[in-house]
Amino acid sequence: MRRIGRALQTSGDETVGPPTLPEPVSERELHVLRFLATELTGPQIARELCVSLNTLRTHSRHIFGKLNVNSRSVAVSHAAQLGLI
């Protein structure tokens, strides 16, 4: 019983809120994330950013890695939960 009480006491000291990212998202990646949150297609986003589609894909891969996700929709959802967008 005492162990459970101690465990409950220490768990109350933990901070509650969004987890921090091991590697921060750059300003450019935040800009890309904001576009990913729109209904624009990849080629349309690339045009808006004045980059090639391959560059957009590279930014997206880096974002996905930093957020530990595998898709655009999950990246946008996770970024919103973290308050990034």
Domains observed in the chain: 25-85 (1.10.10.10)
Least confident of 8-22, 27-41, 46-60: 8-22
Residue 36, φ and ψ in degrees, nearest 5: -60, -25
pTM, two decimal places: 0.74
Token pair for 4: 């459970």
Which among 27, 29, 22 is positioned nearest to 61, based on CA atoms?
29
The amino acid at 52: S
Residue pLDDT, tens place only, 38-69: 999 999 999 999 999 999 999 999 999 999 99
Query: What DSSP string runs through the chain?
Result: -HHHHHHHHHHTTS--SPPPPSSPPPHHHHHHHHHHTSS--HHHHHHHHTS-HHHHHHHHHHHHHHHT-SSHHHHHHHHHHTT--
